């Protein structure tokens, strides 16, 4: 059984103000090391989709760039919604704050679009903190399309604990994964356009899954688009020096103590999402 709905209706409320990106923003959700960077890069295959392209170093490795835009604006949002009347955003009112934040974000997205792909009319935004900021994002971008990518938490914990920016202990990493899923469950009712996909399913058929997303949001799928997705799909991003092959199930390389720590931190979610089904070594 999966606790994450696959598809929600396409109708959505209007943006809080006039917007050049009305109905043309994709927000990628997911925990760190869930594959969301790769998903965002697949979406950028479309000629009409712009966003933060990865940086390629002199060794050929691709490193993600993230806007961090919504996290940077969280203090403004909470200031506008506080009860103490302190702070300049208080005087905007809630609707005024949403409109002001939308105008600011649209301007920044337009600047990114003009830098990376000037002819595009859509934006993909991916930052790992997006899931926890949905109470704000859903009001500023009620017309956006939200795609949640989730992955086996055991693989996430193993990868995150081995990454330079993650917790060193796999149990703590698994707890972070579980927390992101809890936030998704708590907040996803706030958005009207929502789709979820397993990383493992995306990995099995990245081209067709990406084309499905394009069809869902109404972007044209041409032979040129298919070729562009096929070209990007094998590109490895955010590896942070790891040399092993991309894939799922690498949690099996962990010892029994690490597996137990992950299980203690995230067993409920692993079971609910079906990751413990038919897994004698879980």
Lowest average pLDDT, out of 2-6, 50-54, 276-280, goes to: 2-6
The per-residue pLDDT for 56 is 73
Query: Does the pLDDT value for residue 149 go beyond 90?
Result: yes
Residue 67 has which token pair?
A: 């806007």
Among 76, 143, 154, 148, smallest CA distance to 106 is for: 143
The larger pLDDT score, comparing residue 127 to residue 58, is at: 127
- Residues contacting 49, CB < 8 A, separation 6+: 26, 43, 117, 120, 122, 123, 124, 219
Query: Does the pLDDT value for residue 59 go beyond 90?
Result: no
SS (H, E, C) 103-134: HHHHHHHHHHHHHHCCCCCEEEEECHHHHHHH
Are 196 and 181 in contact by the 8 Å Cβ rule? The answer is: no
The per-residue pLDDT for 87 is 76
Query: Does the pLDDT value for residue 280 go beyond 60?
Result: no
- What does the mean pLDDT of the chain come to? 90
Single pTM value for the model = 0.91
The per-residue pLDDT for 65 is 77
Query: Does the pLDDT value for residue 110 go beyond 70?
Result: yes
Q: pLDDT for 203-219, tens place per residue?
A: 999 999 999 999 999 99
Write down all domains in the chain, each with its CATH number in brackets: 25-272 (3.40.50.300)
Q: How far apart are CA 10 and CA 29, in angstroms?
A: 17
């Amino acid at each position: 059984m999966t606790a994450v709905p696959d598809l929600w209706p396409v109708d959505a409320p209007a943006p809080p103000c006039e917007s050049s990106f009305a109905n043309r923003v994709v927000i990628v959700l997911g925990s760190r090391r869930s594959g969301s960077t790769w998903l965002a890069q697949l979406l950028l295959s479309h000629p009409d989709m712009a966003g933060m392209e990865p940086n390629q170093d002199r060794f050929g490795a691709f490193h993600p760039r993230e806007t961090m835009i919504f996290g940077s604006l969280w203090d403004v949002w909470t200031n506008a919604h506080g009860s103490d009347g302190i702070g300049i955003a208080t005087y905007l009112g809630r609707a005024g704050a949403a409109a002001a934040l939308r105008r600011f974000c649209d301007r920044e997205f337009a600047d990114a679009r003009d830098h990376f792909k000037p002819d595009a009319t859509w934006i993909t935004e991916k930052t790992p903190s997006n899931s926890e900021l949905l109470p704000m994002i859903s009001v500023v971008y009620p017309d956006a399309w939200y795609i949640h990518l989730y992955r086996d938490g055991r693989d996430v914990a193993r990868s995150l604990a081995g990454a330079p920016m993650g917790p060193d202990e796999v149990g703590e990493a698994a707890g972070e994964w579980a927390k992101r899923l809890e936030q998704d469950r708590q907040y996803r009712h706030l958005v009207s356009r929502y789709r979820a996909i397993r990383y493992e399913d995306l990995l099995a058929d990245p081209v067709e899954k990406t084309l499905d997303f394009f069809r869902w949001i109404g972007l044209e799928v041409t032979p040129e688009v298919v070729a562009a997705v096929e070209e990007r799909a094998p590109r490895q991003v955010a590896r942070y020096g790891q040399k092993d092959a991309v894939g799922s199930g690498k949690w099996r390389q962990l010892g029994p103590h690490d597996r137990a720590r992950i299980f203690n931190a995230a067993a409920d979610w692993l079971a609910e999402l079906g990751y413990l089904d038919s897994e004698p070594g879980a």
